């Protein structure tokens, strides 16, 4: 199994997207990229910890490639907005890819170059090597699965899931 850490706005949104992909065995929301030890949701939300809301995606590379996961990542959030996804604003919502192995770096850079072709504005996704990942509190795990009828989920997450379903349908029709 391999892992990649991704941040593309609220971790509830990215978790819900990646939980639906074949070959992904686990999606864990958390915090990474900052300087504060043992951050929590409320301190990260202040924007003073340097951490981003991220997900750790564990995947079976014999079923799904990192390149494919990154393609979905770039298609399901706006990587051209600095520290913002929709109404969620602040460094904790930045677009970020945190890799654990140097062998993934070329794949990441190729994915960014490929994704850039779909955007008029430059991609501002941060790419850094990850040192520490802090798991989010229990109430943030499987958030959409447990709270799909909540207004935030209906307004912000359901449209992302619908977009993912269209992407997957288009891929099935193309293949």
Rounded Cα distance between 120 and 127, Å, is 20
Whats the size of the chain, residue-wise?
Answer: 175
Residue 10 known to be catalytic: yes
35-54: buried (b, 16+ CB within 10 Å) or exposed (e) per residue?
A: eeeebeeebbeeeebebbbb
Q: Are 14 and 8 in contact (CB under 8 A)?
A: yes
From the candidates 10, 13, 27, 66, which is the catalytic residue?
10
Count Cβ atoms within 10 A of the Cβ of residue 82 and give its class: 0-12 exposed, 13-18 middle, 19 or more buried. middle
Half-sphere exposure of 102 (CA within 13 A, CB side): 0
Residues taking part in catalysis: 10
């Amino acid at each position: 199994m391999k892992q990649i850490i991704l941040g593309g706005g609220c971790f509830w949104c990215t978790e819900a997207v990646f939980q639906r992909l074949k070959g992904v065995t686990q999606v864990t929301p958390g915090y990474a990229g900052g300087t504060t030890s043992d951050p929590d949701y409320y301190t990260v939300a202040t924007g003073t910890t340097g951490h981003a809301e991220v997900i750790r995606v564990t995947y079976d590379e014999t079923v799904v490639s990192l390149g494919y996961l990154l393609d979905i990542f770039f298609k399901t959030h706006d990587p051209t907005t600095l520290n913002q996804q929709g109404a969620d604003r602040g460094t904790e919502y930045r677009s970020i890819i945190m890799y654990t192995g140097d062998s993934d770096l070329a794949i990441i850079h190729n994915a960014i170059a490929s994704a850039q072709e779909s955007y008029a504005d430059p991609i501002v996704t941060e790419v850094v090597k990850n040192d520490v990942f802090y798991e989010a509190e229990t109430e943030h795990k499987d958030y959409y699965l447990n709270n799909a009828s909540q207004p935030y989920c209906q307004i912000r997450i359901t449209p992302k899931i619908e977009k993912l379903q269209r992407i997957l349908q288009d891929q099935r029709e193309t293949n």
